[in-house]
Structure 1
């Protein structure tokens, strides 16, 4: 017996001679997994419940076949990185070579390069085709071997280390101010974009997040050459890009190469509360946060961007998706797509139609507070472009989740509806953004905002919904749609989207099926959290939000159920970590704190960890076959 009892509750949607039966409360043990599936059953000419029952029974057998195909494949640990480092920048080129980085290895400095400190690594695996690999796990290294990268097959070849000298006179990962003075050398190496030029030449673009609080980012351009089958870097022809043409980069995170061949970069953690961007305490000589007994009430320092630009920075010029045109040229063009929303972009993934894009908003209530910041998690966004392969105009949406009746993160999924925020284009939005240029500390007034305020967002939302949201007896108005594109997370929350996702990380797709990672099912996703108002931060533990799961601090990867036009209608757990000892330790044979994820055309899924030594001995890279 596979299971003694099968409880089925279903709903039927008739489409021609087929019916869609959603098995809502089925739990089928399969290895260590519980699988809930959406299945198709052939109804044909069935006219009564007897025949329908038979169809359901037949469908269950079909479902077992589907499930065995989907989950019979194993999960393989294909690499580990040095102690304290996280795995980042996973990318696979046209011949199956796997690229990944070791970000901020533990030691002196850690997030930025210092004398005698460790350096972040950029590299790839020579001698392994990740598309066909089906071998053994790489062993977890013993304590004496945790200072290097280990791979299950082949050899990890280092293509660059933070701080190495480059041909343009810069150093790998270095950021320089407007006077050409070195600000710092980042160890926060992230997204890799592999651009082939020929069988023996390529360019590898790599994003550097910044250096913890020093959020100014960089992009390196490494010239690769293949000799005797192995890639190496020609440092004399490599350099760092100047990002001043787009106003600099603010915590560049992961990315994806679009279906039309352009690398796309995501700006993460732009800032927690725009109102504070020009607060005098963030621009004085004290550069310590409050938790270090300083006066900086937020983590990142906008003064660093001012130093980089040599002028006052505008917060609305950060937190976007950035596309690189002409990546094979010596002078690629960077373009900000303001129409895709301003949020803590972790990544964007492109559907095969060349128009639909899903975007993850990597935020958490862990680092916010009710006084200074909106007490909000992240929002799951969708963008639909007006034209194929053109991201300059389109419609922005935010997801509203309806949780299943359960609370077990291993089996509980979510139905997803999409709320339209607004339609727009880059040209119009940049005009709105330009209105906020030049606003600095001298313009700050306590209790007021020089930017789009929460009151503005509420008035905009009331005008969209034709509803009084703040109980003041009137319906507010707003002249345009700038809140949707300049304060996208707040705008989404105000319209009723789910804003309790805790650290939405990588988002990818496999032939049009979306997968999304959540680093920790905790905080605002925990059923013990309650619900917090997005604007005031006031929390009510007696009220539950859209998400209320049992805590699983080791995280999960969800799989999307897709309908026509690549519309995601549901999320179901695909891979779930498991807490073992205490509150933080995770099962070494499962994923822990998934971050970057990457889908392959053959159905495989690559999962990179940002776990830390309290969760896993070293961070790991997994292949789900």
Structure 2
């Protein structure tokens, strides 16, 4: 009971894993609640009363799905009709074919907007069971729309998820890493449209499936193609994303190389980021031209998404970093951006013109932590430091200044690119233009005094109509784990380590500004001695993708090795 007591104490100001009834008790079962609350064990209706009524104010966490061994959950996307698309990324090679190949799919017979709050949760699969090798859902059935390598009767000659060169006449590698999904409807009732799927590799790719929902609710696939990124010199590590308010997919380039540009053309650097081998693959994509590092690490908007040939636009204005995703507020100007990895920042962009991300001002957050290191209780106040203003056109000119370098120009201990001294001089003395804010965003943020200590900041999202109408005036962000730069004894953030992760909630004011983040779903406890599931299966482990529903519930997808089977959770802050 010590665990439950501590968790409920944290929930007094935040939220965590809470069920409304006792473990395995009628109507208050762990199955119904997903995660056990501070309730009776094996008691009929639970010791807290019928249906756990006296805990209805306590937030509740319900396990909606589990996926096969080795797979993570990516691409969570809800349509306006409540359909849920998601991917089974890189399942274990030990699974039998075809289940050992990544899948892009949708739940049929399911309406997420009408999800029963008392839905019985999926059980944790037993090790070695058949369930551990399958997608298991609390309701509905998972329809695979495509697997890595599928050719669709020759429409994809190199296979779904194949990374081709810019000329699209040779395959560079086969990816098992589908990530972001976005469904763009092509008719009024949303029964037809295009499903865009990012492939998280170096170089990256985005596939587009024409999909149709029949009157019986079943989905089918028509034409399939890859978006042509050759005009923007290709992409890398296409991670999560969102659909803009004006209906265009916003694909995030998760460029871990962004803070280590000086090693980009170092031929001896093959074990870290940027790996010289990966840089050479981008060179292959470009047909032999050595790539300029400042062309990679941005939010890529896919404009004209219903056209025969969609047009990608790289928004240099949103900064160069390991983008996880960007979410645009209802004013169609304010954008929040997360940066994945360790020692990272949190960013805001304000566009000059609504609906146009090609010009604006970039900001980075400065954190003041509450006076406690308890991860389940410590909120953080945020102030925003202006980094710089620019347009895509200006930045394209500045980026071109670094064209033409290759491995023959590398000198150990020096760099052909922007130096740390340049950045610090710009920050301290206002010397030079604002290229540093956009091309070396992390270093520029640190030089300006912003907090660069976040660890594994993942998906960030809102319910668009809930924020616009002030019915769900919150933004949520997943922190995969609290460790490293967030759990040391220096800097702005000094929290207790939590290797299972936290989901934070951020309030939004009438102008879509946020000034505080607070923990609401806390993973764990963590058991380092456990052979499997070192993070308790009663709560989240390494949260990643997020969806916020119209009623304020939050869908959480995991990217974890600390649960043997990754899970999708429903967090209900009202405890229903």
TM-score bin (small chain):
0.7 to 0.9
Q: How far apart are residue 226 of structure 1 and its match? A: 2.1
Relative to 1, partners in 2 of residues 1:299 and 1:516: Cα closer, same or farther, differing over 3 Å?
A: farther
Aligned match of 1:302 in 279, 283, 287? Answer: 279
Counterparts of 2:83 and 2:148 in 1: how far apart (Å)?
22
Question: Which residue of structure 2 aligns with residue 74 of structure 1?
Answer: 60
Question: Which residue of structure 2 aligns with residue 175 of structure 1?
Answer: 163
Normalising to structure 2: TM-score of the pair? 0.84
Structure 1 residue 593 corresponds to structure 2 residue 539? no
- Structure 2 unmatched ranges of 5 or more: 15-53, 468-473
Q: What is the DSSP-based 3-state SS (H/G/I as helix, E as strand, rest coil) of the residue aligned with 1:139?
A: coil
Question: Which residue of structure 2 aligns with residue 267 of structure 1?
Answer: 253
Aligned match of 1:439 in 398, 401, 405? Answer: 405
Counterparts of 1:396 and 1:289 in 2: how far apart (Å)?
32
Alignment of 1:204-243 (within 5 A): 204-210=195-201, 215-235=202-222, 237-243=223-229
Q: How far apart are residue 447 of structure 1 and its match? A: 1.4
Q: How far apart are residue 403 of structure 1 and its match? A: 0.6
Contact 1:222 1:233 in 2 (8 A): no
Q: What is the DSSP-based 3-state SS (H/G/I as helix, E as strand, rest coil) of the residue aligned with 2:105?
A: strand
Question: Which residue of structure 2 aligns with residue 617 of structure 1?
Answer: 564
Structure 1 residue 506 corresponds to structure 2 residue 475? no
Counterparts of 2:513 and 2:252 in 1: how far apart (Å)?
22
Structure 1 residue 188 corresponds to structure 2 residue 174? no
CA RMSD in angstroms comes to 2.3
Relative to 1, partners in 2 of residues 1:449 and 1:521: Cα closer, same or farther, differing over 3 Å?
A: same
Q: How far apart are residue 571 of structure 1 and its match? A: 0.7
Question: Which residue of structure 2 aligns with residue 541 of structure 1?
Answer: none
Counterparts of 2:178 and 2:554 in 1: how far apart (Å)?
22
Relative to 1, partners in 2 of residues 1:171 and 1:341: Cα closer, same or farther, differing over 3 Å?
A: same
Aligned match of 1:104 in 77, 90, 105? Answer: 90
Contact 1:100 1:122 in 2 (8 A): yes
Counterparts of 1:118 and 1:575 in 2: how far apart (Å)?
31
Question: Which residue of structure 1 aligns with residue 518 of structure 2?
Answer: 572
Q: What is the DSSP-based 3-state SS (H/G/I as helix, E as strand, rest coil) of the residue aligned with 2:129?
A: helix
Question: Which residue of structure 2 aligns with residue 89 of structure 1?
Answer: 75
Counterparts of 1:161 and 1:297 in 2: how far apart (Å)?
29
Q: Count residues with an aligned counterpart.
A: 507
Contact 1:250 1:270 in 2 (8 A): no
Question: Which residue of structure 1 aligns with residue 43 of structure 2?
Answer: none
Q: How far apart are residue 33 of structure 1 and its match? A: 4.0
Relative to 1, partners in 2 of residues 1:611 and 1:168: Cα closer, same or farther, differing over 3 Å?
A: closer
Question: Which residue of structure 2 aligns with residue 43 of structure 1?
Answer: none
User: Over alpha carbons, which structure has the higher Rg?
Assistant: 1
Q: How far apart are residue 117 of structure 1 and its match? A: 8.4
Q: What is the DSSP-based 3-state SS (H/G/I as helix, E as strand, rest coil) of the residue aligned with 2:142?
A: strand
Structure 1 residue 562 corresponds to structure 2 residue 515? no
Contact 1:170 1:239 in 2 (8 A): no
Could you say which structure has the greater relative contact order, defined with CA pairs below 8 angstroms and 6 or more residues apart?
Answer: 2
Q: Deviations over 1:541-569 (max 9, x none)?
A: xxx11110111100001111333411110
Q: How far apart are residue 299 of structure 1 and its match? A: 8.3
Counterparts of 2:361 and 2:151 in 1: how far apart (Å)?
43
Contact 2:150 2:156 in 1 (8 A): no
Question: Which residue of structure 2 aligns with residue 276 of structure 1?
Answer: 263
Question: Which residue of structure 1 aligns with residue 241 of structure 2?
Answer: 255
Relative to 1, partners in 2 of residues 1:356 and 1:30: Cα closer, same or farther, differing over 3 Å?
A: same
Counterparts of 2:99 and 2:67 in 1: how far apart (Å)?
17
Contact 1:349 1:357 in 2 (8 A): yes
Relative to 1, partners in 2 of residues 1:450 and 1:605: Cα closer, same or farther, differing over 3 Å?
A: same
Counterparts of 2:397 and 2:193 in 1: how far apart (Å)?
37
Question: Which residue of structure 1 aligns with residue 49 of structure 2?
Answer: none
- Structure 1 unmatched ranges of 5 or more: 1-27, 38-67, 283-287, 291-295, 365-376, 465-477, 531-543
Counterparts of 1:341 and 1:601 in 2: how far apart (Å)?
30
Structure 1 residue 450 corresponds to structure 2 residue 435? no
Contact 1:171 1:240 in 2 (8 A): no
Q: What is the DSSP-based 3-state SS (H/G/I as helix, E as strand, rest coil) of the residue aligned with 1:280?
A: coil
